[in-house]
Structure 1
Amino acid sequence: MLQIKGLSKAFGNKQVIRQLDLDIPTGSILAVVGPSGGGKTTFLRILAGLEKADAGSFVLDGKEMTSEELKAEEQIVGVVFQDFQLFPHLSVFENITLAPKLVLKEDKALYTKKVADLAKTLGISELLDSYPFQLSGGQKQRVALARAMAMSPKILAYDEPTSALDPALRQQVEDMILSLKKEGVTQIVVTHDLTFAKNIADHLLEVSPII
C-alpha cells in the first residue's frame, strides 16, 4: 500500500496541493480527476520525484520515504506522460531498453526477452525497429507504457492517457489498464475525463483549484 501524508505544494503564492492525505491499496486503480489548475499533474510529478514537495511524506509498504527517495528508487513509480517523452533518435526497441540497460544494468539477453514479452502483451511487436516519428498517437502511448513497465515498477502512473484519442483508442487504453489491474499492478490515472475515470477506477480523487 502507498500512503500519502500531509502532501503540500505551492508555486510562489499559489497553493496547488494542500495537506493531501491518501491511501492507495496495492493492486488498485486511483483516478485523479478535475479541471486544469487543480494540481493533478503536479501530484504526479511529485510522486515520480520530478517535483519537490513543500511538505509531506510517502509510506510504501510500511517504509516512509520522501519524494526524493521515491525518485532514487528507480523501480517504485513508472510514469507515462501525456507527450510520451520518447527519444526521437532511438528506435522503439532502444527506447524501451535504455533504462533497464543503463539503470538496472541488465544483460542483453534479459532485457531483450523482457521487451519481446512486453511488446507481445501490448501489441507492438512489429514496431520494435520503428522510430517515434513513424508511430501514431496510440502506438506511441503503448511504447511509452512498455518503457515504463520495463523497469518493473511497483506503481504505474498515467498523465491524461486518453487525451486527444479517438473512441476506439480510448477503449484500448481502458482495456489495457484493466488488464494490468488483473496482474496486480497498482495504477494512478490523472484525467479530466470523469466517465473514463469511473469506468476504470476503484477510487476517485476529485480535485479543484485552491482559491
Structure 2
Amino acid sequence: MLRVDDIHKRYGDNEVLKGISLTLERGATKVLIGPSGSGKSTLLRCINHLNKPDRGTIELDGQRITDANIDRMRAQIGFVFQDFNLFSHLTVLDNVRICQLKVKRLSHEEATRRAHEELERVGLGDKAGAYPAELSGGQQQRVSIARALAMDPMLMLFDEPTSALDPELTGEVVKVMQQLADDGMTMLVVSHEMGFARQAADEIIFMEGGYIIEQGPPDVLFSTPAQERTRAFLNVIAEHG
C-alpha cells in the first residue's frame, strides 16, 4: 500500500534523511525505533507531505503523492502526533466531527454518527460532550486517534503517541493501538514502547543518522540483531525499561 523510495530531506546543513526506502503492505504494522534525531519523525512528516522531501518518491496505493493531489491524499492518511492537537474550544464530539464536515463534506448526521462510532471504538463514548481540558492526557490522545479514524484512512501514522503521557496513562493508548493492529489497520508507528513493538509489529525498522540500519521481524531483531549498533541501542532501552 505504501512505497517510500530514496527519500532525502535536509534542513540547512543538516541532512536528516539520507535515502530512506521502505514498503508497507495493506493491513501490516511496522514500528520505527532509534535514537532521537535519527529521522523517524521527519520520515512520517515527509510521507504526509507536512515536510516536502528534497528527493525521492512516495506512493500510496499505487498513486504518487504529489503537490497536485496532496489534499486528497492527506485525507487518506491519519496522523497522530506526540501532542494531541485538539481544539480546546470544541467538545470531544466536535473535535472528531470537524474534519469530516470540512474536508470530507459529510452531512452533519453522518459525521455525528461516525464520530460517536469512533469514540466508542477508543473507549470514550461517554466523553462526547466534554472539553479537552476536562480529559486526562491519555484520553486526549485517544480522542485524536478517534478523529483520525473517523476520516476512514487507508494508512495511520503515529509519531511517538505516548511520549507526552505519564507512564500510567500510556497503557490505555497502547491498548487502542494494539486493537487497531489486531483489526488489520495499516500502520507506521514511531515508538519507544518496546512491548507494543514486540506484540503488534510485523516488522521493526531501526533508524540512526538518517539511515535504516536494520529491519526485520520483532522476534529476530530483538533477540539476534545483525548490527552491533542495533544491539547497543536495544541494550540501552532495556536498561531504562
Provide the TM-score with structure 1 as the length reference.
0.92
Identical amino acids, percent of aligned pairs: 36
Looking at structure 2, the residues matched to 68 and 32 of structure 1 have their Cα atoms a distance apart, in angstroms, of: 29
Decide whether aligned partners of structure 1 residues 10 and 76 sit closer, same or farther in structure 2, where only a CA change above 3 A counts.
Answer: same
Q: Secondary structure at the match of 1:73?
A: helix
User: Which AA in structure 1 matches 2:170?
Assistant: R
3-state secondary structure, aligned to 2:74: coil
**1:15 CA drift (Å):** 0.9
Q: CA deviation at 1:167?
A: 4.9
Given that 2:181 and 2:200 are in contact with CA atoms closer than 8 Å, whether structure 1 keeps it comes out as: no
8 Å CA contact 2:5, 2:58 repeated in 1: yes
Runs of 4+ in 1 over 4 A off after TM superposition: none
Larger RCO, structure (CA 8 Å, separation 6 or more): 1
Equivalences, count: 211
- Aligned partners of 2:198, 2:50: CA distance in 1, in Å? 28
Q: Could you tell me how far apart the structure 2 residues matched to 1:27 and 1:182 are?
A: 9
Secondary structure at the counterpart of residue 138 of structure 2: helix
Distance 1:21 1:74, change over 3 A: closer
Q: What amino acid is the match of 1:135?
A: L
Could you say if the C-alpha distance between residues 180 and 6 of structure 1 is closer, same or farther in structure 2, counting changes exceeding 3 Å?
same
Q: 1:188 to 1:67 in 2, by over 3 A?
A: farther
Check conservation: 2:65, 2:73, Cα contact below 8 A: no
Between the aligned partners of 1:88 and 1:52, the Cα distance in structure 2 is 29
Cα RMSD (Å): 1.9
| Range with bigger deviation, 177-186 or 193-202 | 193-202
Q: 1:40 to 1:52 in 2, by over 3 A?
A: same
Report the Cα distance in structure 2 between the residues aligned to 1:67 and 1:146, rounded to whole angstroms.
Answer: 27
Once the two structures are superposed, residues 40-90 of structure 1 have per-residue CA deviations (whole angstroms, 9 ceiling, x without a partner) of 111111112211100111122222333774444233211111111001111
Distance 2:78 2:191 in 1: 17
Q: Secondary structure at the match of 2:9?
A: strand
2:94 aligns with 94
Counterpart in the other structure of 1:151: 151
Q: 1:66 to 1:205 in 2, by over 3 A?
A: farther
Answer with 1 or 2: which has the greater Rg: 2
**Secondary structure class of the residue paired with 2:170:** helix
Over 3 Å counting, the alpha-carbon distance change for 1:150 and 1:46 in structure 2 is: same
Corresponding position of 1:113 = 113
1:121 is displaced (CA, Å) by 1.3
Deviates more, 1:55-64 or 1:147-156: 55-64
What is the rounded CA distance, in whole Å, between the counterparts of 2:54 and 2:75 in structure 1? Answer: 23
Gaps of 5+ in 2: 212-241
Equivalent residue number for residue 171 of structure 1 = 171
Query: Per the alignment, do residues 172 and 90 of structure 1 end up closer, same or farther by CA in structure 2, a change over 3 Å counting?
Result: same
CA distance in 1, matches of 2:90, 2:102: 15
Are the aligned partners of 1:31 and 1:205 in contact in 2 as well (CA < 8 Å)? yes
Give the partner amino acid of 2:184: G
Q: Relative to 1, partners in 2 of residues 1:69 and 1:198: Cα closer, same or farther, differing over 3 Å?
A: farther
Q: Is the 8 A contact 1:74 1:151 kept in 2?
A: no
Deviation at 1:164, TM superposition (A): 4.3
